[in-house]
Structures are given as C-alpha cells and as structure tokens.
Amino acid sequence: MTSALELKNISVAYDNHKVIDAISFELNEGDIGCLLGPSGCGKTTLLRTIAGFEAPQDGEVWIRGIRVSDRKRLVPVELRHAGMVFQDSALFPHMTVRENIAFGLQQIHGGRKEARITELVDLLAVGEFLDKYPHQLSGGQQQRVALARAIASRPRILLLDEPFASLDFELREQLAREVRNVLKQDGITAVMVSHNQLEAFAMADIVGVINEGRLLQWDTAFNLYHRPATAYVADFVGEGVFLSGKVIGDKEVQTELGTITGTISLGLNHGAAVEVLIRPDDIVHDDNSAMTAKVLDKAFRGAEFLYTLMLASGTRVLSLVPSHHNHPINEPIGIRLEIDHLVVFPERG
Amino acid sequence: MSTTVDTVTLSPSYTRRVAVHPWALAIVFVSFILSLPLIAVAGSFLIPAKDIWQHLLQTVLPEYIVNSLFLMLGVGVMTALLGIAPAWLVTMCKFPGSRMFEWALLLPMAIPAYIIAYTYAGVLDASGPVQSWLREITGWHYGEYWFPEIRSLGGAIAMLSFVLYPYVYLISRAAFIGQSICALEVARTLGCGPYKTFFKVALPLARPAIIVGLTLVLMETLADYGTVQYFGIAAFTTGIFRTWFGLGNSAAAAQLSALLMLFVIVLIYIEYWSRKQQRYYHTSSRYGFLSQKKLRRWPAIIAIIVCSLPVFSGFLIPVGFLMKWASLTYKSVVDQQFYILMWHSIMLAICAALLATVLALFMAYGKRQYSKPLTKIAVNISGMGYAVPGTVIAVGVMLPFAWLDRTIDNLFKSYFDLSTGLILSGTLIALMFAYMVRFLAVSLKTVDAGLTKIKPAMDDAGRSIGMKSVTLMRRVHMPMLRGSLLTAILLVFVDVLKELPATLILRPFNFNTLAIRAYELANEERLADAACPALAIVFVGIIPVIYLSRSISTSRPGHDVST
C-alpha cells in the first residue's frame, strides 16, 4: 500500500543556510499529522515544500504515489491538488462565502457543484452566513469557511499552517476537535503545523517534533510525552525537570529522590551519569512521606496546584497536587515518587 | 454611623465639556476662509446669466465637455495600462533591473505635464528631429507623408498619461504588496495558474486601490491647463481662461468653474467610496514571505520592455531632449534675469511651504486635541483643495478679493474721498492664499499621518509621569513629528514650484517664475530656450521622487518577516 504522503530525506536551504535538514516521514491515508515546534524551527517551510511553494535542495516528496518534488523537478502548486489553510483565513474579500467555497470547485459544474457545496455547508455549519462577505464573519467562522474552500474539491492532501493561531484561546481546542471530526468524516489526509502542543494533541493522530530543521521524533502524542526520543522533545512537550542520576542497574537509576526502576532496559553502562525526566505527575504529594521538599512557588489551576518544590540539594522539581492540599510558600511538604515511565538521557555536556 | 467621603473638586476643564474651545473655533474659521473661493464659485450660479448660458451651450460648452470626457477616458485607460502591469511585475517577479525599475518608474512624476508637452511637441513637430530624420532617410518632403499630429486630443492624452501613470503604479503596487501573499497562494493551491491568479484574485483585490489611483489621475487631468492650452484643445480649463480673459466675462468663467467642480465632486465621491471599500478588501495583517518568481529569457525580456517603456517615454526621452536643448541655449538663457526667476520661484515656494506646514500643524494638532465632529469636518474640507483645479481656485480667489478691494475703495472714497485702487488683487497675498487653498491638503495629510503615529496612550503615559502639555509637546510630539513636518515642507515646496495656472492668473504684474517663463517661451515657440527653466523645475521635482522611492523600498511588509 502506498502512503498518502511520503517525504524522503528532504532538505531545504535559503542562500546556503539549511532550514530543513534531511527530514523523512510517512503519513497513512486518512491520518492527520502535525509538525510541532517553536517558531523559526522550519516547520512552515516544510509544509510549503509539500505544497510546492518551496523547492527542496535535496530529497523527494511523494503524494499518493506520485513524485511531486525532487532535486530537478517541481510539479507546480496548482497541479498538486493540495488544499491549504493559512493562519489568517486568506479568504478572498471580494467574494461571498458561497463564492469563496465555489472557487475551490472550478472544475466541477452544475448539480454536482451545488451538491458538494450543500455537503460542505452541513459539514462545517456555515449555512447561516453563506451570502455574507468575509469581513462580516468572526475569526472562527472565517477559518471554517477557509477549511470548506480548501477541502471542497477533495484534495489529495490538506495542509494547515497554524490554522488556529489567530483565534481566541478558548476557541482553539474546540475548533481543533471540530476540524478533526470533519476531516475524519470526509476521509481527508492532512498535515498541520503548530507550535501549540494542546492543539496538536487535539487534532493529530501522529505528531512530529521539529527543532532547528531536524525532525526529532515522529510518534503518537502519548509516546512524545512518555517516551520522548531526545532531551529536547522531553523538554518541549509537557512540563518537567531533569534530575541528575547515576545508572546502577540495567533498569535502575540512583537519584537524590531514591532509586527509580523502569520497565525496560536503559541500555547504558553501569555508573554512567544521566539525566532523569521528572514530570509534575511523577511526584505525588503525600503527607505521610518521610521525604520532604520546600514549597517555592505555586500556581493555582483549578482542580490542581502546580507546586514548584526545592529538594534538599537545592534542585527544583514540579509537582501536580489536588487543590484541596493548599500549602503556604516555604512550608516543607511530604512527597513520593510514582514513575510509570522512566525516561533517561545521557548527561549533557 | 457616619462615613466621611473625600470629595474631589473637578477642574473647570473637566466639567465644561460642552463649551467650544477657541482652538476648535479657529480651525473652523481657517477652513471657512479657505473654502471662500469655492463658495464664490458655487455662488456664481446665483448671478443671473441666462444669455451667457444660451451662448455657451450653443457654442463651446458641448466641446469642452466632450473633450474633457474623452481626455479623462483616454488618460484613464492609458495610465491603467502603463501603471498596473509594471507594478505587478516588480512586486511579484525578479528580472534584470527589477529593483531599479521599482523607483525608476516613479521618475516621470518629476515632470509637469505642460513641460513634457512642450518637449514632445518640439521633438515630433514637422521641424523637429524625428521628422527631419525621417525626411532625410526617405527623401520625402513635408506634406508628402502622414505623421501623427502631436497637437491633438490623442497627443494630450499621451502626454498626460506619460507623467500621471505613476499615481496608478504607486497605489496598485502598494495594493499588490499589501495583499496577503496567502490569498494568492490559496488561489494556486486551488488550481489557478499565475495568469488566472492575477486576473481572478490579485486584480479584483487591488481594484479599489486602483480606482483611487485613477481618480487622482483624473483630477489632475481635469486640472491640467498647460498641456491642453499648448495643444489648442478646448477643454474646461482653457475655456475658463478664455471666457475670463478673452471675453472678459467673469460671471460665465465662474459658472464654468462651478460646472467643472461638479465633475471633480463626482471624482472625490468615487475616491472616498473606493477608499472605504479598501478596508474590506484588506486580506491580512500578517504577511507571508514574499518569494518573487525569477524570470528568464523571453519572459524577462518582455518584463523589461513593459517596465522601461513608461520610464523612457515619461522621463528619459523628454529629459534627454531638454538637456540637449539646454546645452545649446544655456549661454543666452541663463543670465541675470534667469537668477531672478529662480529667486522668485524659490522664495514663493518656500514661503508657501512654510505657511502651509504651519497651518497644517495648527489644524491637525487642534483636531487631535479637540476632536469634535465640527473640527473634523472643517479639517476634512480644508483637505479637499488638492482636487480643485488651479484655474478654478484662481477664479474663486479673484472674485472675493476683487469684491474686497472694491468695498475698501468705496469706503475710502466716501469717507476720505480717496481711491485705494486694488489692494489685494494681483498681489502675492492673493497668490499665497490660492496656494494654501490648493496645497494645504498636501501638508495636512503628511502632518496628520505623522500625528496618528503618536498614540493617545503616549500622552497618557507622559501625563502620568507628570509632564505638562508644553513639555509633552516639546519632548514627545515635536521630536516625533519632525520628519513629517520636513516632508510636508518639501512636498508643498515642489508642488508650488511646478504650479502653473493659478500662478499665471494671480501673479503680480511682471512677476515671473520658472514655470511661467517656460510657459511663455514655449508659447512663443522658443522651445529650446524653454529647456533651461523646464529642466530646473524637473530637477527640483526629482527631490520628492527620491523621497518617495526611499520610503517605498523600506515599506515592504513581508520582506523581512520570516515564516
């Protein structure tokens, strides 16, 4: 079976400065992928390379078994049949919502065109403002129309460039889930670019973390959080701190919080200096515990407090504690380790 | 139980919000004075002149209207053709010289239409170099061949288009740059090739802006006097001039002016409406990386031709000939008299520029401090003068000044038995007043733009740390405004230096400027002699073009914003 999208060793450079460095991944039919990374990491460039706006310096892009970009050839954007949604909806301001959607259906005429528009209207709930102009719509409505326009002609692949970034914070996750449902219903393969992990997790089946032009990990959200491939991924996805430790067994690490035992072999030499990832949910507050840490700071998050704690050695760790445990700053509180996934990296120089 | 409440006595300025501030009153007064010429022109309809209208309608009026309409149509189409295509090419493509064309396409702005008309007339006339050369190589004699007549409606259309297309170029280029690159890219992902993208998305998106550019071009076309006069075309401006000075009928001239103003008002309305539309046509506040398409071979050659055609016809060819003629004649032309001309021109332009800028500062600053509907309307009215043809302003200035002179004269006669004659008419005061009516708009717009950069929050911040109004003005506002004020002075200076019809009508007897001298020499068919004053005007005219080209090269949104 051919995958819907395949990147083979893609490198992109501007003026000899490498922006994308040998990135490869595959996306299956109907899956939603997300490229996650800080701004300036190259994720948008990668998306534009898939769309055909940028030419790769090296490597190949395949869309549904057709090679669309390589070192020599570049299938023009308009022939790739890749739908695209931008951060600012980029709706055509001189056309009504209906005309905007119909713009994506130029090759289709008559009854089939009307039928598809009706279908999209139902799918995206844009019926109320079909005859309005873009400037009369809210940001969320605009993005829904932009999505309808992009998927109108059933593109071979849909590309979304930070599609929710210009929306209100509360609206983002809600719309991300809505969009996910629409894409799944319509069976569309999509790649999204985002710097917001919650958005990425809400949308995507598979997420790639990109930093400085390299794809660090291409995996499910669960694995990115619990089995990060590199220290950067561990740091970028979710909250957490690194604790120094020493390997004392095949699955065991000695830290100042005690010995931590994992479930799989660490594959490191005995005695090696390592860093252990401690997530806020790995440290559980227990008033009966002998081990204590001093409260340095706390942030109220409704159901929980996120405590910043200082261990005896001065190292800081985070802990998520149910919010009825309200402890003042500077008070030592009892803590206990509860680690399901031991994540260890060799100590950085 | 009782509670004590601290009371704060509000200062009078907080409590008397209804009262009109003297500054606001002064603004309304200034704008009223500046609209007097237009009121006078409009009021001329009240003077019964039925027989004049009968006469005008039967004779020249239909011709004026038809000619002016054809002129507008021709110039509109030609400036659109000359302006839009290069704007698109330099914005979206990269080809040899594209960066240079970006500013070079503005150069024709430096040349007033009447000067390019004299130059081309000299070049293309029967005795000019082109036809002489044609006769030389073919052996034909004058009259034996057909050659397009430059002194015609078509010629005037070409001349005006050559120097006015930069308005369309400048505005449509800004529109193309301002268009979210995303909107264009979306069109491509939806299956549109480059041509379809241009015609279905980019051009419709730029339409309101292009219409604004075209209305400015058409206002200039209606205002033109020098070109149509020299080519002998009966248009509104020449008609007004002829009716007043040829037929000595000031009432009819004023009424013709009023009719011309109706045309202008329609244009102002279209401009206003299109500017409002532009807001809705705004696609993005975030600009994508503008990747220009590299053109090679034939496409590049065609692009170079499309971009160089307007530059050659609107600047390089006429300036080339002017320089050649100037090199032949400067010895006899540049004498004591010439320096006096320059002195007159420069003094006049500097005084007008300073006055217009001070007035603009006074009005714009006042509007900012005391923003009431009335002040806003007053300031907006004062900003409309740019649309009024110089000929109309001249007529409108002469009417009230003549009335004032007569009234003063009568008063003195009856009380002191003394005739004062003409005190204000035909003086520099009248001329300066006309300049203010026409060019205050230029300085006002610049100063206003500068003031909008000073956000009200800055005032609040200044006051909150204890700055008084005067300190705020001196330490915050003035330093921020300095650039805008200098720009305003510069722009008005150049405009006044180039101005022809109002100066021609209102100047004191025997008071000449470079523009007047060029006009007179050209009308005496001493085209080569006219080259020196004409070149002087062109060189000064280049200054704002340099300024403009510098500001457009720095205002490229999306150029330094990386994705």
The model's pLDDT over A38-59, given as tens digits with 9 standing for 90+, comes to 888 888 889 989 988 888 989 9
Alpha-carbon distances, residue B106 vs A16, B103, B486, B543, B544 (angstroms): 35, 5, 21, 11, 10
On whether the pTM is more than 0.80, the answer is no
Structural domain of A267: 239-346
Nearest to A78 among B193, B281, B284 (CB): B193
- The reported pLDDT for the residue numbered B14 is 45
- The reported pLDDT for the residue numbered A189 is 92
- Domain final residue pick, A233, A253, A271: A233
The verdict on a CB contact (< 8 Å) between B286 and A149 is no
Clarify whether residues A207 and A336 are in a common domain: no
Clarify whether residues A256 and A302 are in a common domain: yes
The verdict on a CB contact (< 8 Å) between B188 and A77 is yes
The verdict on a CB contact (< 8 Å) between B191 and A107 is yes
Clarify whether residues A221 and A265 are in a common domain: no
Pair type for strands A157-161 and A82-85 = parallel
Query: What mean pLDDT value characterizes chain A?
Result: 87
Q: Which residues of A touch B190 (CB under 8 A)?
A: 78, 83, 103-104, 106, 149-150, 153
Nearest CA to A61 out of A53, A50, A47 is that of A50
Question: Does B99 contact chain A (CB < 8 Å)?
Answer: no
- The reported pLDDT for the residue numbered A87 is 80
- Domain final residue pick, A233, A258, A284: A233
The verdict on a CB contact (< 8 Å) between B193 and A76 is yes
Tokens 């000939």 belong to residue: B321
Question: How close A151 gets to chain B, by Cα (Å)?
Answer: 9
Determine the residue of chain B that is closest to A156 in CA distance.
Answer: B189
Q: Do B503 and B520 meet the contact criterion of CB atoms below 8 Å apart?
A: no
CA distance linking residue A245 with residue A231, whole number of Å: 15
Q: Where are the domains of chain B?
A: 41-113+149-284, 322-555
The verdict on a CB contact (< 8 Å) between B286 and A83 is no
Using DSSP's 3-state secondary structure scheme, residue A12 falls into strand
Domains in chain A, number: 2
Clarify whether residues A223 and A132 are in a common domain: yes
The verdict on a CB contact (< 8 Å) between B191 and A81 is yes
Classify domain B322-555 at the CATH topology level. MetI-like fold (1.10.3720)
Clarify whether residues A219 and A270 are in a common domain: no
The DSSP secondary structure of B319-353, one letter per residue, reads: HHHHHHHHHHHHHHHSSHHHHHHHHHHHHHHHHHH
CA distance linking residue B431 with residue B347, whole number of Å: 13
Give the ipTM: 0.73
Measured CB to CB, residues of chain A less than 8 Å from chain B are 40, 44-45, 48, 51, 53-54, 76-84, 86-88, 90-94, 103-104, 106-107, 133, 135, 146, 149-150, 153, 155, 159, 166
Q: Could you report the per-residue pLDDT of B109-144, keeping only the tens digit for each?
A: 888 888 898 888 888 877 778 887 888 887 777 777
C-alpha R_g of chain A: 24
User: Does A229 have pLDDT greater than 60?
Assistant: yes
Region B41-113+149-284: CATH code: 1.10.3720.10
Clarify whether residues A293 and A198 are in a common domain: no
Mean pLDDT of A315-342: 88
Q: Do B351 and B432 meet the contact criterion of CB atoms below 8 Å apart?
A: yes
Q: Which residues of A touch B182 (CB under 8 A)?
A: 86-88, 90
- The reported pLDDT for the residue numbered B283 is 56
The verdict on a CB contact (< 8 Å) between A90 and B563 is no
- The reported pLDDT for the residue numbered A121 is 86
Question: How close B310 gets to chain A, by Cα (Å)?
Answer: 30
Q: Calculate the dihedral angle through the C-alpha atoms of B211, B212, B216, B218, rounding to the nearest 10 degrees.
A: 20
Question: How close A8 gets to chain B, by Cα (Å)?
Answer: 22
User: Which sign, positive or negative, has the C-alpha torsion B483, B486, B489, B491?
Assistant: negative
| Partners of residue A83 on adjacent β-strands | A158
- CATH assignment at residue A13: 3.40.50.300
- CATH assignment at residue A296: 2.40.50.140
User: Does A66 have pLDDT greater than 80?
Assistant: yes
Query: Do the two domains B41-113+149-284 and B322-555 of this chain adopt the same fold?
Result: yes
Q: Please, what is the angle between helix B113-124 and helix B129-138, to 10°?
A: 20
The verdict on a CB contact (< 8 Å) between A90 and B193 is no
Nearest CA to A108 out of A100, A95, A117 is that of A117
Residue B97, by phi and psi: left (phi above 0), alpha (psi -120 to 50) or beta?
A: left
Residues of chain B with pLDDT under 70: 1-20, 48-50, 180, 280-291, 371, 419-423, 551-563
Alpha-carbon distances, residue B90 vs B174, B298, B305, B316 (angstroms): 11, 16, 12, 19
Clarify whether residues A225 and A272 are in a common domain: no
Tokens 């005084």 belong to residue: B351
Clarify whether residues A43 and A138 are in a common domain: yes
CA distance linking residue B87 with residue B214, whole number of Å: 14
Clarify whether residues A23 and A149 are in a common domain: yes
